[in-house]
Amino acid sequence: MMLGRALAICLLCFFACSLTSAQENVPIISGGAGFLSSTQGGTNVLQPVLAPVIAIPLGDRWLIESRADLREVYFQQGPGGPYTNEGFSTLEYLQLDFNANSHLTITAGRFLTPFNIYNERISPIWISKLQDAPYVAAIGTGQGYSDGIMLRGALISTNSYAINYETYFATLSTVNKFTSDRGTGGRISMFLPGTRLEVGASYRRTLQGTHSNSEGLDLTWEPYQAPLQLRGEWAHSQSGFGYWIQASYRLSQIKGESSPIGRLEPVFRMQQFFRSAQIPNDSLPSTNAQQPTFGLNYYLPHEVRLNASYGRQFLAHTTDTNVWEFGITYRFLFPLWPGASR
Partner 1 sequence: MNYRSFRTIAGLCVLLVCMIVCTLAAAQEKQAKSQAVSSADTQDKASSQTAAGEKLFRTHCGRCHNPPESLSPREARAVVRHMRVRATLTTGDERLILKFLAP
Q: Give the three-state DSSP class for 76.
A: strand
Nearest approach, Cβ of residue 103 and partner 1 (Å): 8
Residue of the chain from 61, 219, 314, 323 that contacts partner 1 (CB under 8 A): 61
Within 10 angstroms of residue 281's Cβ, the number of other Cβ atoms is: 7
Beta bridge partners of 86: 73
120 binds partner 1, rule: CB under 8 A: yes
Nearest approach, Cβ of residue 254 and partner 1 (Å): 18
**Within the chain, what is the greatest distance between any pair of CA atoms?**
68
269 binds partner 1, rule: CB under 8 A: no
Q: CB nearer to partner 1: give 202 or 290.
A: 202
- The residues, ordered by sequence, that sit 6+ positions from 319 with a Cβ below 8 Å of its Cβ are 41
63 binds partner 1, rule: CB under 8 A: yes
| C-beta of residue 72 within 8 angstroms of C-beta of residue 47 | yes
Q: How far apart are CA 310 and CA 314, in angstroms?
A: 13
Nearest approach, Cβ of residue 66 and partner 1 (Å): 11
Q: CB nearer to partner 1: give 188 or 207.
A: 188
99 binds partner 1, rule: CB under 8 A: yes
Q: Which of residues 194-253 bind partner 1 (CB under 8 A)?
A: 196, 220, 222, 224, 229
Q: Give the three-state DSSP class for 224.
A: coil
Question: Which positions from 301 to 320 touch partner 1 by CB under 8 A, shown as an x/- string?
Answer: -xx-----------------
Q: How many helices (H) and strands (E) does the chain have?
A: 1, 16
- Please state whether 147 falls in left (phi above 0), alpha (psi between -120 and 50) or beta: beta
59 binds partner 1, rule: CB under 8 A: yes
Q: How many residues bind partner 1 (CB under 8 A)?
A: 58
102 binds partner 1, rule: CB under 8 A: yes
Q: CB nearer to partner 1: give 168 or 241.
A: 168
> Which one of the spans 6-14, 77-85, 177-185, 240-248 is the region binding partner 1 (CB under 8 A)?
6-14
Computed on alpha carbons and rounded to an integer, the radius of gyration of the chain in Å comes to 21
Residue of the chain from 80, 82, 87, 101 that contacts partner 1 (CB under 8 A): 101
How many Cα atoms are found within 13 Å in the side-chain-facing hemisphere of 303? 12
β-pairing, 162-170 with 321-335?
unpaired
Q: Which of residues 164-203 bind partner 1 (CB under 8 A)?
A: 164, 166, 193, 196
| C-beta of residue 31 within 8 angstroms of C-beta of residue 332 | yes
53 binds partner 1, rule: CB under 8 A: yes
